[in-house]
Homo-oligomer: A and B are copies of this chain.
Amino acid sequence: MLLTLVNGAPVRDATCAISVEERGLTYGDGVFETMRLEANSVRFFDRHLARLRIGCDRLGIKAPEDPVLREDIAVLVRNQRDGVVKLIVTRGAGGRGYRPVPALTPTRVAILYPPNNNAAVNGVEVRWCTTRLARNRLLAGIKHLNRLEQVLAQNEWTEAHIAEGLMLDTEGELICGTSTNVFIVSDGALVTPDLQFSGVRGVMREQVIKLALSEGVAVEERPLRPDDLLAASEAFLTNAVRGIWPVVTLGDHRWPIGPMTARLNAALANAGI
């Protein structure tokens, strides 16, 4: 960690900064964003803030005002060029039971990490995870703090050559990677799983859809099965920090880095923030 703010103030000791009654800890009662700092600018910051607000609304958390969150991040990244910014907003600290105490003040935690090594110019190898995603419309799409499924899924493999694990929901639908969204190219169209029952509506997913539409590419959000992936002419993963990762290997299956993936990657590189 390069710097940590809790409720806007730099903490001297990040190992000792959060309440034992913090509802983020006791119930996972909050949301988070993980963002890419590039040339002292948080990429797609407006979209991250918008998604955070959607998540808070869904959970009935009164999200801090945008200027408050913007100021947190401005202080966090001051004089920093590149890195990974994590922002957590919880319902606050207090209340032994599940019931939210109405008067709680949401907790803000902002952490700056060094940059990731994001390079995947030659594409990535992926695997199937056996951990399934539960289906619940109420929690689908938002980036809440109840992430045991993703933790267990990432715990399934240690091989360094596997960059990501693909996850199915309990009905066998292909939903996402453990920390990525998934896209395939099918009959010339860009297709990505419908996320009404599980998964996270990634900020990079949204940007890629927007870029594809602006390039005149047909985009479909619909339920996908593993066979749809295997039949696809191209496949790639998206993540706000990593951008677009072409998928080239899954077990015995190989894909080329196809023209659609290359085109969208170029469009993304040229896109504003």
Give A contacts to B, CB under 8 Å.
1, 4, 6, 11, 14-29, 32, 34, 59-60, 84, 86, 88, 90-91, 93, 96-100, 109, 111, 113, 131-136, 138-139, 144-155, 170, 178-179
Are A22 and B25 in contact, with the CB atoms below 8 A? yes
The distance in angstroms between the C-alpha atoms of A150 and B100, with both chains bound, is 10
Are A1 and B28 in contact, with the CB atoms below 8 A? no
The distance in angstroms between the C-alpha atoms of A15 and B84, with both chains bound, is 27
Some 22 contacts from A to B, beta carbons below 8 A apart, are A1-B21, A4-B20, A15-B93, A16-B16, A18-B19, A18-B22, A20-B109, A23-B151, A25-B88, A25-B109, A25-B145, A26-B32, A27-B145, A84-B96, A97-B154, A99-B151, A134-B135, A134-B136, A135-B135, A135-B170, A136-B170, A139-B149
The distance in angstroms between the C-alpha atoms of A89 and B20, with both chains bound, is 12
The distance in angstroms between the C-alpha atoms of A148 and B16, with both chains bound, is 25
CB distance from A193 to the nearest CB of B (A): 17
- Contacting residues, chain B, for A19 (C-beta < 8 A): 14-18
Are B146 and A29 in contact, with the CB atoms below 8 A? no
Are B100 and A147 in contact, with the CB atoms below 8 A? no
- Contacting residues, chain B, for A23 (C-beta < 8 A): 151
- Contacting residues, chain B, for A113 (C-beta < 8 A): 96
CB distance from A162 to the nearest CB of B (A): 11
Are B96 and A60 in contact, with the CB atoms below 8 A? no
Are B148 and A144 in contact, with the CB atoms below 8 A? yes
Given contacts A148-B146, A154-B98, A154-B100, contact A11 B20 (CB under 8 A): yes
CB distance from A90 to the nearest CB of B (A): 8
Kindly list 14 other residue pairs between chains A and B, CB separation below 8 angstroms, not including A14-B19, A138-B149, A144-B148: A1-B21, A14-B20, A16-B19, A17-B18, A26-B32, A26-B145, A27-B151, A28-B28, A59-B152, A86-B96, A98-B154, A133-B136, A136-B170, A145-B148
- Contacting residues, chain B, for A136 (C-beta < 8 A): 132-134, 149, 170
- Contacting residues, chain B, for A149 (C-beta < 8 A): 136, 138-139
Count chain B CB atoms within 10 A of each CB in A20, A27, A135 and give the residue with the most.
A20
The distance in angstroms between the C-alpha atoms of A132 and B88, with both chains bound, is 25
Given contacts A25-B24, A138-B131, A139-B134, contact A151 B18 (CB under 8 A): no
